[in-house]
Each structure stands twice: as C-alpha cells, then as structure tokens.
C-alpha cells in the first residue's frame, strides 16, 4: 500500500470529474474504491468532503488515502473512447485557428463542451483526441459554451498553456463578445445588467434565477454577475440584434440576464418559453415565419493575450447556418455594425 498523498490539480485536469481524474492518475484505483473513499471521508478536496462526481479546478489539492500497488483490471481503467470518422471530420472542420500552443474552434450549436447530466456521450472534450496532431497529450478546454450556443471555444495544447489561459479567464483579462437576437428592443439600447444568479431546478434541469444586486449577499448560493449589452440593429419593436459581453462567467448568464430584462433570446425554450410566440410586446422566444426555432446566441469573438508570445489575439467566428439564415431573412448585414460596439466606453 502507498501512503497518504496530496496531489495538485493541473490545468489539463480542470473541470474534470474527481473520479475520472483519479483513475487517470492511478491505474490501480477502481470506481468502487473512489466511492468508498468519498463515503468514509478519506478522500478530500482542499480539506473538504467530496462526491465522486464533483468537478475539480486547477490549483486545488486532493488528499488521496493509501492505495494498493496492484493495477485495476484493464476494463476499469480510464480509456479514451474511439472516435467515429464522421466526428473526426466534424471537429477538424470546426478549427477556426491554431498554432503550436492553442486551438480555437467554432463550436457548432447542439454539441456540448463537456459531458454531464443529460449531455450524452458526444461532446468537444470527448473529441479532443482527434485534435492531438502528434502531441503526446490531448488539448484541454479552458472555458465552456452551453450546448446550444455556438462560436469561439479555446483549447490549450499543453498543461502550461492551459494554466496560463485559465488564469487569464479567472482574472477576466480575456474579452468575449456574443451576438444574439432578443425579443423586443432593450431600452436603453446600451447598458449593464448586474443581477446575481442562483441555481434552481432539479437534477438534469439546471436553471438560473436572477437575484437583485442588493439581495445577493443574503441569498444562499447566489453569485454576482455582470453583463454589458448594446443594440446593433432592430426589427421594429419585435426584435433586436444585440452584442453581449459577459464581465463575469456564470452558468447561463447571458440567457438569464436578457430574460430578466424582459428580452429573452430568440429560440431559448428554457428562459423564454419555446411555445411563446413573439407578438411584439417585448417577450416570447419565437419570431415565427422563416426564423429558426433554435437558440440565437453565438460567441462571435474573443480577444486575449497569447500566453507564450504575448501577442494580442482577436478571433472571430462566422455565424452558424441557422443564424446566418435569420440574418439574411431580416436583412441584417454583419458589415454594418462595429466589431466591438463598446470600444468608445473604455
């Protein structure tokens, strides 16, 4: 038996399930052992009790109790799944930009960033083996997009770059601009939403509820959240093309904030009501006609300082097919709006 060990979570392990992380590190450990360690409190994350399904973060410390020296049976060890040829082509075609350190994808809508409750087995994290291109390690997600949100998604090709990019996201030195179509037209046409967010809903039906900024500190589980918004174009009073900048990075932040403002994102069945027709009253998640019922939220661009070259990089992702059709139907031209409508506010 080994002795007690204290291991630090690396950038390429960030947001991984604890059980999966341990089985990658220790071939002799089994799922049953992880569950038992958790039940007894022998396995701890930053000194606290955990569940096998809890996700870890870079820099956290895991206390691992004594482990047997013999390896677990082959069928219980972590094994990367085999990727179908069609999925390999799909994820390679999604590459927007890459160098020796970073790969940027234009994530298609409907493809989860990672596995989890209700996400299925097909997700970006599970397809990264197809993006190794001769490297010894799989590229690592350094942030996430919702399943139905498309656009720029960064992967680090080495643990060192993953750590540095992770720090940049945590320190909010990256800048992401999203495009969306929302019900109605926000007034004023440029502003900041500061409602906090708290998780609601049961297992597999996660949803965020907005909390007034003055009540965040007294509401258990709530976190502060900030979103900048600007109207770029409008369809009378029925809908608007908006740019959104998440100052913080909370779950469903943009979707929940726009719904709280009274202008849910078109196609958002969770926060706007998929069956609600937009009648021009500043509500309703569907425009009808030739406009797709899919979510109209796209991570249009990202600007960040390259962690190796120190160069400022800005990457822009083309609209997905269903949103490009909507823009054409509504007569909106992407050349008519500024890349960053908030520049004058800096």
Catalytic residues: 146
CB 195 within 8 A of CB 222: no
DSSP code per residue over 28-55:
T--HHHHHHHHHHT-SEETTEE--TTPB
The burial of 163, by beta-carbon neighbours within 10 Å (0-12 exposed, 13-18 middle, 19 or more buried), is given as: buried
E strands present in the chain = 5-8, 44-45, 48-49, 61-64, 95-98, 102-107, 140-141, 150-156, 175-183, 190-193, 196-200, 207-211, 227-235, 239-246, 297-305, 312-316
- Give the three-state DSSP class for 183: strand
What are the φ/ψ torsions at residue 156 (nearest 5 degrees)?
A: -95, 140
What are the φ/ψ torsions at residue 242 (nearest 5 degrees)?
A: -120, 150
Closest to 210 in 3D by CA, of 193, 235, 185, 232: 193
3-state helix/strand/coil string of 243-268: EEEECCCCCCHHHHHHHHCCCCECCC
Structure tokens at 333: 């031209």
Structure tokens at 237: 């009073």
CB 165 within 8 A of CB 129: no
**What is d(CA 258, CA 240) in angstroms, rounded to the nearest whole number?**
12
CB 144 within 8 A of CB 112: no
């Amino acid at each position: 038996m080994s002795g007690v060990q204290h291991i630090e979570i690396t950038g390429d392990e960030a947001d991984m399930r604890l059980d999966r992380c341990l089985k990658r590190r220790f071939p002799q450990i089994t799922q049953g052992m992880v569950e038992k360690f958790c039940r007894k409190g022998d396995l701890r994350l930053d000194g606290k009790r955990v569940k096998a399904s809890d996700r870890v973060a870079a820099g956290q410390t895991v206390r691992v109790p004594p482990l047997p020296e013999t390896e677990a049976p082959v069928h219980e060890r972590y094994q990367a799944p085999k990727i179908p040829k069609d999925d390999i082509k799909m994820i390679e075609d999604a590459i927007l930009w890459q160098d020796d350190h970073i790969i940027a994808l234009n994530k298609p809508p409907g493809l989860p960033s990672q596995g989890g409750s209700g996400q299925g087995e097909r997700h970006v994290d599970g397809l990264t083996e197809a993006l190794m291109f001769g490297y010894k390690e799989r590229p690592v997600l350094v942030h996430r997009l919702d399943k139905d949100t498309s656009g720029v998604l960064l992967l680090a090709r080495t643990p060192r770059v993953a750590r540095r990019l992770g720090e940049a996201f945590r320190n909010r030195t990256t800048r992401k601009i999203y495009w969306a179509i929302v019900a109605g037209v926000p007034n004023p046409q440029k502003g900041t939403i500061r409602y906090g967010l708290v998780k609601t809903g049961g297992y597999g039906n996660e949803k965020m509820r907005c909390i007034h900024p003055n009540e965040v500190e007294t509401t258990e589980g709530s976190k502060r959240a900030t979103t900048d918004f600007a109207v770029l174009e409008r369809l009378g009073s029925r809908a608007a093309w908006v740019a959104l900048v998440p100052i913080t990075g909370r779950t469903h932040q943009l979707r929940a904030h726009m719904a709280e403002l009274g202008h849910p994102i078109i196609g958002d069945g969770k926060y706007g009501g998929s069956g609600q027709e937009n009648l021009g009253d500043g509500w309703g998640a569907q425009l009808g006609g030739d406009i797709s019922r899919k979510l109209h939220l796209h991570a249009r661009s990202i600007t960040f300082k390259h962690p190796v070259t120190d160069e400022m990089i800005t990457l822009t992702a083309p609209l997905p097919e269903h949103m490009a059709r909507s823009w054409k139907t509504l007569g909106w031209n992407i050349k008519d709006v500024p890349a960053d409508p908030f520049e004058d506010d800096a």
